């Protein structure tokens, strides 16, 4: 099992969610996060004074999937979240040791 963590532009969330649903990803967790990468921050002006916003709002999508699904999931996120401009985000893939469904106590693949 793997855990996929994708940080994307907030307005891309809906497209990514739909794309993953189509290939059978059954659940995900979404977090509103702030951060920066190569994009760095941007400058805003308030009442005549400029200021830098270092941490830009992003959405982090977390999903647990079976190993064989990982290439498809990554591919779908790449297509759905890409605008081609700086700030599109990143995908991280982690090994996932265990998954347990709280309601039934099922473990592993069954819990996904």
Q: Which residues of the chain form contacts with other proteins (CB under 8 A)?
A: 44-51
* Structural tokens at position 62: 């977390």
Tell me which H or E stretch contains 45.
Answer: strand 42-46
Least distance from C-beta 32 to other proteins, angstroms? 11
The answer to whether residues 68 and 2 touch, using CB atoms and an 8 Å cutoff, is no
What is the three-class DSSP state of 112? coil
Least distance from C-beta 33 to other proteins, angstroms? 12
**Of 48 and 71, which CB lies nearer to other proteins in the complex structure?**
48
**Of 38 and 47, which CB lies nearer to other proteins in the complex structure?**
47
**Of 45 and 102, which CB lies nearer to other proteins in the complex structure?**
45
Output DSSP code: residue 15: H
Distance (Å) of CA 25 to CA 2, 56, 84: 12, 28, 25
Least distance from C-beta 13 to other proteins, angstroms? 21
């Amino acid at each position: 099992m793997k855990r996929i963590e994708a940080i994307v532009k907030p307005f891309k969330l809906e497209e990514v969610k739909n794309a993953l649903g189509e290939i059978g990803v059954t659940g995900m967790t979404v977090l509103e996060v702030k951060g920066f990468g190569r994009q760095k921050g941007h400058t805003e002006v308030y009442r005549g004074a400029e200021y830098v916003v270092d941490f830009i709002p992003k959405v982090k999508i977390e999903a647990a999937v079976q190993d064989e699904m990982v290439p498809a999931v990554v591919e779908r996120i790449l297509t759905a979240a890409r605008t081609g401009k700086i700030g599109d985000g990143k995908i991280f893939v982690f090994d996932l040791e265990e998954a347990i469904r709280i309601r039934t106590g099922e473990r592993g693949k069954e819990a996904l």
